[in-house]
Chain A
Amino acid sequence: MKYGMPTLRPSVIPGFGITLGLTLTWLALIVLIPLSGLFIKTAELSFDQFWAIVSSRRTLNALKISFGLSLAAAVINLVFGALVVWALVRYEFPFKRLFDALIDIPFALPTAVAGISLTTLFAENGLLGAALAPLGIKVAFTPLGILVALVFIGLPFVVRTVQPVLLDLEAELEEAAATLGASRLQTITRVILPSILPALLTGFALAFARAVGEYGSVIFIAGNLPNVSEIAPLLIIIRLEEFKYADATAIAMVMLIASFAILFAVNRLQRWSEQRSRDA
C-alpha cells in the first residue's frame, strides 16, 4: 500500500474538503441511509418475531433454495470456468476470440431477457428442453431451471478473475517443475492449481454472491412453487405485495448479512492473492 500513514498530508492540490464532503453525502443519501433503514426496520421487530419469520417453513425453504442452488451453481462455474479459462489461455481453437468476448454476455444482457430466453430454450418444447425430455430430465419450472439460470449469471466471474492470473503465470514455474521430474499432471495439481487457487476461490465467491441475490433471470424459469422452487428474493417481493413489510425486511436482513460475509471473504481472498503474487 502506498498509504502507510493514516494522516492528512498537506497537499497543493485543491478540493479535498469539498470532494470528500460531497462523496460522503451522496454515499450516505443513496447507499448508507437506505440500507440502514433496513437495519432500523429489523430492529423494530422483537427477536421472537424475527425468529418466527425466518424459521417459518416457507422462508427457510426459500433461503435453502437460494443458498443451496447458488452454491451448486458456483461449484459448476468453478469447474467449467476453470476448463474454459484453460482452453482460452492455453489452447487455440476456432472462434476463440469470439467466445472470449461472449463470456461477458451475462454481465451485459439484462436479467429479464436472459430469464425468458433460458425458459424458452429449456421448456419442454424448446430446443434443449425437447432434447432433454426423452431422458426424463425436466429443467424449466423445476429447481434444475433455477440452477441453469444461476450458472448463466455467474459464468463470467470465475473466468474473468482467473484469466489474468493464468496469463501472468510464469512459464518458468512449469519448466522448473518439469526439470525436477514432475509429470504434467503433477505440475498441474501441485504447481499451477495452487498458484491460481486464490483467484479461483475469489471467482467462486463472487459467482456465489451474485447468484444468492439474483432475481430477474430466475423467476421466469423457476416455476416459483412455494417450498420447492421459490427463491428468497421472490419471497421478499411476495411479502411486500402482501404488505407484510416485517417479513420482507427480516428475510432481506438475513440475505444482506450473508452478502456482507461473502464480501468480507472475497476481500480476504484478494488480499491473500495480492500477498502471494508479490514477486516471488
Chain B
Amino acid sequence: MSVSVGTLVSHRKKPADAARAVRSEPALVRWTVVAIAILFLFVFLVLPLATVFQQAFSRGLGAYLAALAQPDALAAIQLTLMVAAISVALNLVFGLIAAWAIAKFDFPGKSVLITLIDLPFSVSPVISGLVFILLFGAQGFFGRWMQDHDIQIIFALPGIVLATVLVTFPFVARELIPLMQEQGTQEEEAAISLGASGLQTFFRVTLPNVKWALLYGVLLCNARAMGEFGAVSVVSGHVRGETNTMPLHVEILYNEYQFAAAFAVASLLALLALVTLVLKAVLERRLDAE
C-alpha cells in the first residue's frame, strides 16, 4: 500500500446508523409504524376476541356451563355439527372430483370453470340464502310442487345444508386445483404405465400428494360451515331447538338480553376459530416444507 493512511484521516464524521442501513428507516419512523400497527391489531383483533371469553365467564363458570347445557343450546350444537359434517363431506368429494378434471386434463373454458367455482366467494351470504327461497320457498319456482308432495326444504335441515354448501363451495377445490396443476400428470402417467387402474392411481398416487392441501381446505371449509350466519339465517326459519344452528342461537340469546349465555355459546365458536388458526399454522408449515 502506497497510501499513508494517517495523512488522509481528516475530521471524520460517520453517517448516522440510519443512513448506513440502506434498507431501513429512522428509529422514530420504525417505532411509530410498529406502534400504530400494534394498536390497530389490538383494537380490532385482540380486544374483540378477548371480549368473547370475558363476557362468557362474566357470570361465573356455573352460569357458563348451565348456558351450554340448555336443551336449545345442545340442539343447536348438534345441528351445527350435523350441517357441517354433511357440507364438508359434499364439498370434499366435489373438490377432489373438480380438481382431478381441471388439473389433470386440458380443455377449453377451463379458466371460466375455475372462475365459476370461485363465484360463491363474491356473493353476499344473504343472497346465497335468498336464492334457495326463490327456488323452494312457498312462492318459489318449485314451491307449489313441493307442497303437493309434502317435501320441506326451506326452514328445515335440507335448506340449511344447501345454503351452507353454496357458501363453502370453493374452499376445498381452490386449495387443490393450483397444487395439482403444479404437480402435473407425470406421476399419474407413470402409475398407469405400471398397470394401476384409475382409482388405484388416484388413491395411491394423487391423494397422498395433496393430503395436506386437502386437510387445509377441509379445515377452512369446516370453520365457515359451522360459523355461517347470513345464508343460514335466511333459510332456517329460526325454530328453536329445531332449525337453529349455533350462530343463530347466539343471535336469539343476545336479542333476548341473555348476554352471558349468548357469549357462552359464542365462546365455543371462538374456540373453534382459534383451533382452526392453530391447525392452519401447522398445516401451512407442512405445505411449505413440501
Contacts and interface: CB of A to CB of B under 8 A. Distances in A.
Interface of A: 2-3, 5-9, 11-16, 19-20, 22-24, 26-27, 30-35, 37-38, 40-41, 80, 83-84, 86-88, 90-91, 93, 99, 101-114, 116-118, 120-121, 126-128, 151-152, 155, 171, 174-175, 178, 184, 209, 212-216, 220, 233-234, 236-237, 240, 243, 245, 248-249, 252, 255-256, 259-260, 262-263, 267
B120 A83 contact: no
Contacts of B98: 19, 23, 26-27
| Majority secondary structure of chain A interface residues (helix, strand, loop or mixed) | helix
Contacts of A90: 24
Given A91-B34, A101-B277, A260 B226 contact: no
B234 A240 contact: yes
Given A6-B109, A117-B48, 12 more contacts: A11-B185, A13-B189, A15-B198, A105-B49, A111-B247, A128-B43, A152-B48, A215-B124, A215-B233, A245-B139, A259-B124, A263-B119
A109 B124 contact: no
A127 B131 contact: no
A233 B120 contact: no
Contacts of A214: 124, 230
Contacts of B125: 213, 215-216, 233
Given A20-B105, A37-B135, A255 B223 contact: no
Interface of B: 22-25, 30, 33-34, 36-38, 40-41, 43-49, 51-52, 55, 94, 97-98, 100-102, 104-110, 113, 115-120, 122-127, 130-135, 137, 139-141, 162, 165-166, 169, 181, 185, 188-189, 192-193, 197-198, 201-202, 220, 223, 226-230, 233-234, 246-248, 250-251, 254, 259, 262-263, 266, 269-270, 272-274, 276-277, 280-281
A8 B194 CA distance: 24
Nearest to A38: B131
A36 B248 CA distance: 28
Contacts of A7: 106, 108
A20 B120 contact: no
Contacts of B127: 38, 213, 233, 236, 252, 255-256
Q: In the complex, which of the residues A38, A120, A237 has the most CB atoms of chain B within 10 Å of its own CB atom?
A: A120
Nearest to B124: A213
Contacts of A184: 25
Contact of B230 (A80, A93, A111): A111
B255 to A, nearest CB: 9
B105 A102 contact: no
A259 B122 contact: yes
B230 A215 contact: yes
B3 to A, nearest CB: 25
B34 A27 contact: no
CB-CB nearest 6 A-B residue pairs: A213-B124, A110-B227, A216-B229, A14-B198, A215-B230, A108-B273
Contacts of A86: 33, 37
B250 A99 contact: no
A103 B280 CA distance: 12
B277 A30 contact: no
B134 A213 contact: no
A104 B274 CA distance: 10
Given A30-B166, A245-B139, A213 B198 contact: no
B49 A109 contact: yes
Nearest to A33: B135
B125 to A, nearest CB: 6
A114 B41 contact: no
Most A CB atoms within 10 A — which of B22, B117, B137?
B22
Contact of B166 (A14, A34, A112, A155): A34
A26 B51 contact: no
Contacts of A118: 48
Contacts of B273: 105, 108-110, 113
Contact of B113 (A23, A30, A107, A236): A23
A267 B111 CA distance: 11
A121 B229 contact: no
| B123, B226, B262, B272 interface centre (most CB from chain A within 10 Å) | B123
A53 to B, nearest CB: 14
B247 A110 contact: yes
A88 B40 CA distance: 13
Residue with the highest number of chain A CB atoms closer than 10 Å, among B34, B55, B116: B34
10 contacts: A13-B189, A19-B100, A26-B98, A27-B113, A86-B37, A101-B281, A106-B45, A110-B229, A112-B251, A237-B233
